[in-house]
Structure 1
Amino acid sequence: MSAFNLTSSGPPTFILNGIPGLEAAHIWISIPFCLFYVISLVVNFMVLFVVSKEPTLRKPMYLLLCMLGLTDIGVSTCVVPKALCVFWFGFKGITMDGCLTQMFFLYMFDITHSAILVTMGYDRYVAICNPLRYDTILTNARIAKLGLVGLIRGVLFVLPLALLLRRLPFCANRVILDTYCEHMAVLKISCGDTRVNRTYGLVILLMTIGLDLALISLTYGLIIRAVLRMSSKKAHQKALNTCTAHICVILISYTPNLFSSLTQRFSQGIADHIHLLLTSIHIVVPPMLNPIIYGVKTKELRNKVGKYICRM
């Protein structure tokens, strides 16, 4: 019990409590948590390996898929290993520096992931609306630069978030009701004025996820307009089929993310364990499903992956 009675003058250490109300079920919860994480690592590294080995896959779309895979690995790896230590071994302590580091990389990867989804939407727009100039508009070098811009944006937005949090004083009870250092969960145990932190967190949400969703919506509005102008129904279907994988990834990536962020700030009627279970879905399920969705929907990638699996 001494770990839960840290005084504000003691070392800056927090306690990750896990999922409140479901402590007895932590072992059972950890099984799918660990399984999804392992699957996500395997499928994402498989895509990275195959694209790196196959010259025919070194195209903008597959380069974007590799970037998406790297951010997916980053998001889940920031959270899952520590969460499993909490579930399996009861290693709940995390230092202030460790907490801020986890938070920085988690949100940096998350914001970069969102930027890559916007770029993938632009890729689909060019492929459908301006196919003859696709190779000149979207080169690998240009895609790499857009990915770097997305990464820099993530760093610039998240770094002040961590610095603002570091200045806050914390109460004697430093128990974080979560499996990782989620921004709002850490703010709830602060004894100081958190209005600036809460406002800046909302600004980040609006300027990254909100703006990216607006850009993706605009892109698909232009795509739909171009598709409706096509005279052939077969051309309609072919054009829309090229977007199916991207739309599925958008839905499974943004829906739990937005639900988690908005309910943390504005909803008081959702039980903590329900909120945290949905947050966990955002951490482990999209990284596992994203490469599977693209593998199923993209014949060229599916064939190349199948070739390497058959060699094993």
Structure 2
Amino acid sequence: MTNRHKKLGISDDEVLNIYKTMLLARKIDERMWLLNRAGKIPFVISCQGQEAAQVGASYALNRNTDYVAPYYRDLGVVLSFGMTAKEVMLSAFAKAEDPNSGGRQMPGHFGQKKNRILSGSSPVTTQVPHAVGVALAARIEKKDLVSFVTLGEGSSNQGDFHEGLNFAGVHKLPVITMVENNQYAISVPFDKQVASENVSIRAKSYGMVGVTIDGNDPLAIYEAVHEARNRAIEGEGGTLIEAVSYRLTAHSSDDDDRYREKHEVDEAKKSDSLVTFGNYLKEENLLSSNLEIEINNELDSVVNEATDYAENAPYAEPEDALKYVYEE
């Protein structure tokens, strides 16, 4: 009997790489929390609980041609598209070598031209019209690529969401929008944010396909994004995907998280994708105990090396603040 990932055209090696990328994102995130609490980095805004959607979606794209416009939690997306642990840590420590902003921006403001990661800004949802613009450019230049944009469900209530998706729908642009519904917009629960039964139902208003998927299942997300990409390349327009998961940490390192009960978080941890997907790989005899230990040791070394390098790297010179502002 063919297993799930083989049915989707994913090899054993690739499905293990999906798991490893998810785990690397988690380990970097956990390290950043420790560094923040030790007073070494100023801020953390976490990906924990959303790695499956981020990495599963990224592996369904063409990571050599497609463009991504990630939101601030999308550590799994940027790692999948080629950003390294060292580069992420340089950003966390705000060092001169930070590829995202040269140490100017807060963590989570991703941007890397060589890997086609669009630069993000602090106002939420601004990345949606940017991604739609990339899709329009691809259409004009007759390039065989798609634009992939992510956001939280709270951001789906901003004006840029409607404007971007409406334009994409009217022009049948090759853009995939994935709303990572982690149940909370900072402290506001889903039922106090959205009047409709879900977010994906809004797709009908934009003349595009809308689906709601288990965001803890990277293979289900892979399938949905793969199908969406095929439709986009065939000229059938965009797709709105809602990946439902749960935010396992506070909104950020500056949030005391008192608006939800501990038992709610503990219950959600039972569906943690790193546990459930790891169990799937074990059931398929792809993740033995020895291999699991080996992967953890390997990734621990990567995170340790990245942390040490970034902590000891130089800060930008004060006069560098004026670089890349105007003509450069």
Pairwise same-fold verdict (TM > 0.5): no
Structure with the larger strand share? 2
Structure with the larger helix share? 1
Higher relative contact order (CA 8 A, sep 6+): 1
TM-score w.r.t. structure 1 length?
0.29
* Pair member with larger Rg: 1
TM-score w.r.t. structure 2 length?
0.28
